[in-house]
């Protein structure tokens, strides 16, 4: 099945194959992001095991530093798996990436603590996290490319939005596992050994995903994979304008995404003073609502175009970020917190619902995976991965509100970049051209 078939009217069998391909790719995407985000959500409990000295903010700052370090591997993962996907096929790259994520999760699950092996414990945690960062750096580009290529033409926004349905679903599942453990175990048990359980679950789920991905159809042609520029930096250089555009709007999009998802749980606890269990419940509800929004906003982009969706994202993000974060800093009601976070995530949905697709539509097939993966990884590693660290560092320095304006400024940059870009959805770029 190639993207050329999307040009002609698809028959019922073709539609079923494409839906199965979306489901298969999405299942692996969900597992990848579950494994990656379990680290962030469980940090409140395992931080003392690896960084025993200091106050809560210092411990979280250390774990956030390791979290950010995982992001630094993403550009390498984006390049390596992008090249692999463009030269050897999307399916091969997706299978290898999920296998690597399985290994990283398993290592963290059995890792000795600082009390057992001293400074070697946080060092090994960092190594495992770098391994996961390499894996997820490849997962985003290859899965975004694959799902964009199998989506039905004219409905690409709707179908490709399921990448973020499963990405958010991975976060939600990670948070749900934590909520269940919080109900079943005491805080002392969670800090002693309970935090390891989600990593074991993630490693086992990755093996199931590996099996499912073996049955996926390949979307690239032999001719495309054999092109001289396929998967090369030289070939990508010919599309450097698209590369820089993607880096530009990824900077703001990733930063605000991580602000209102992975960091928000800590923000509600560490800044608003909310109980950890209450904050987890609030974020579980907000992430579920966020997940449901993605196909709706993706379908909207099919009607109004990707560029307009990006401009709406930037406009509302610039207007709403500072007021929303100020309101959340002093929130006392869980219901009010849920409403505020959900409003913020609705704004982010203009971007995330089409995040992978708009990138894929800007590159031709022979450099599509490396173009999507590497450009996204660069912007995401610098701005998205550092979101928690910057926020906690500014809080420790007594200037927490500066972080609000930092997020706003980067979203304004995304708006400027989007204003200058062409609308790829209007040009039908996503085709296998001879």
**pLDDT one-digit tens code per residue, 160-188:** 888 889 888 887 888 788 888 888 888 88
Task: Break the chain into its structural domains and give their ranges.
Answer: 14-427
Amino acid 139: pLDDT:
82
| Mean pLDDT confidence for 26-43 | 79
- Interval 360-393: pLDDT, tens: 888 988 899 899 889 988 888 888 878 888 998 9
Q: Kindly state the tokens that stand for 67.
A: 């979290």
Task: Please tell me the CATH code under which domain 14-427 is placed.
Answer: 1.20.1250.20
Is residue 131 within 8 A of residue 355, CB to CB? The reply is no
The CA distance from 305 to 317, in Å, is 19
Q: Is the pLDDT of residue 277 over 90?
A: no
Residues in the chain: 434
The chain-wide mean pLDDT, for the chain, equals: 84
The three-state secondary structure class of 102 is helix
Q: Taking Cα atoms as reference points, which of 297, 347, 349, 351 lies closest to residue 325?
A: 347
Q: Taking Cα atoms as reference points, which of 131, 177, 119, 155 lies closest to residue 36?
A: 131
The total of other beta-carbon atoms located within 10 Å of residue 332's CB is: 9
Output b/e per residue, 209-219; b: 16+ Cβ within 10 A: bbebbeebebb
Is residue 35 within 8 A of residue 206, CB to CB? The reply is yes
Q: Is the pLDDT of residue 357 over 50?
A: yes
pTM score: 0.80
Q: Taking Cα atoms as reference points, which of 424, 403, 274 lies closest to residue 337?
A: 274
219: Cβ–Cβ under 8 A, 6 or more apart, which residues?
Answer: 1, 2, 3, 21, 90, 145, 146, 149, 150
The three-state secondary structure class of 55 is coil
- Interval 191-207: pLDDT, tens: 888 989 999 998 888 88
Q: Is the pLDDT of residue 4 over 50?
A: no
User: Higher-confidence residue: 151 or 267?
Assistant: 267
52: Cβ–Cβ under 8 A, 6 or more apart, which residues?
Answer: 114, 115
Is residue 157 within 8 A of residue 352, CB to CB? The reply is no
Alpha-carbon dihedral 335, 341, 342, 348, rounded to 10 degrees: 180
Is residue 156 within 8 A of residue 430, CB to CB? The reply is yes
Q: Taking Cα atoms as reference points, which of 310, 313, 326 lies closest to residue 405?
A: 326
Is residue 138 within 8 A of residue 93, CB to CB? The reply is yes
Amino acid 5: pLDDT:
40
């Amino acid at each position: 099945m190639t993207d050329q078939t999307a040009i002609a009217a698809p028959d019922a069998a073709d539609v079923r194959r494409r839906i199965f391909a979306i489901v298969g790719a999405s299942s692996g995407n969900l597992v990848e992001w579950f494994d990656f985000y379990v680290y962030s959500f469980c940090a409140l409990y395992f931080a003392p095991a690896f960084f025993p000295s200091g106050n809560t903010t210092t411990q979280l700052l250390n774990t956030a530093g390791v979290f950010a370090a995982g992001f630094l591997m993403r550009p390498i993962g984006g390049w390596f798996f992008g090249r692999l996907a463009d030269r050897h096929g999307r399916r091969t790259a997706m299978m290898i990436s999920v296998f690597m994520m399985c290994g990283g999760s398993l290592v963290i699950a059995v890792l000795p603590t600082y009390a057992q092996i001293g400074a070697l414990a946080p060092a090994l945690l960092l190594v495992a996290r770098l391994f996961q960062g390499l894996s997820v750096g490849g997962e985003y580009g290859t899965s975004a490319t694959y799902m964009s290529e199998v989506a039905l033409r004219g409905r690409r926004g709707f179908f490709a939005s399921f990448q973020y349905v499963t990405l958010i679903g991975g976060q939600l599942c990670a948070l749900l596992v934590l909520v269940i453990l919080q109900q079943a175990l005491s805080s002392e048990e969670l800090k002693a050994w309970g935090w390891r359980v989600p990593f074991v679950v993630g490693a086992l789920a990755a093996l199931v995903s590996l099996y499912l991905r073996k049955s996926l159809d390949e979307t690239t042609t032999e001719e495309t994979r054999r092109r001289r520029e396929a998967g090369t930096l030289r070939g990508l250089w010919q599309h450097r304008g698209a590369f820089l555009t993607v880096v530009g709007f990824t900077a703001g999009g990733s930063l605000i995404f991580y602000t209102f998802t992975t960091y928000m749980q800590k923000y509600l606890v560490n800044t608003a003073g909310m109980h950890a269990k209450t904050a987890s419940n609030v974020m579980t509800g907000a992430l579920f609502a966020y997940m449901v929004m993605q196909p709706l906003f993706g379908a909207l982009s099919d009607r109004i175009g990707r560029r307009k969706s990006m401009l709406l994202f930037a406009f509302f993000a610039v207007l709403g970020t500072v007021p929303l974060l100020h309101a959340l800093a002093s929130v006392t009601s869980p219901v009010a917190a849920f409403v505020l976070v959900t409003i913020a995530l609705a704004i982010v949905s203009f971007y995330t619902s089409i995040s992978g697709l708009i990138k894929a539509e800007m590159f031709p097939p022979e450099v599509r995976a490396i173009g999507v993966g590497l450009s996204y990884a660069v912007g995401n590693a610098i701005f998205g991965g550092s979101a928690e660290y910057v926020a906690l560092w500014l809080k420790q320095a007594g200037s927490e509100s500066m972080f609000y304006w930092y997020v706003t400024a980067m979203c304004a940059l995304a708006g400027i970049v989007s204003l200058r870009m062409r609308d790829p959805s209007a040009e039908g770029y996503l085709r296998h051209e001879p």
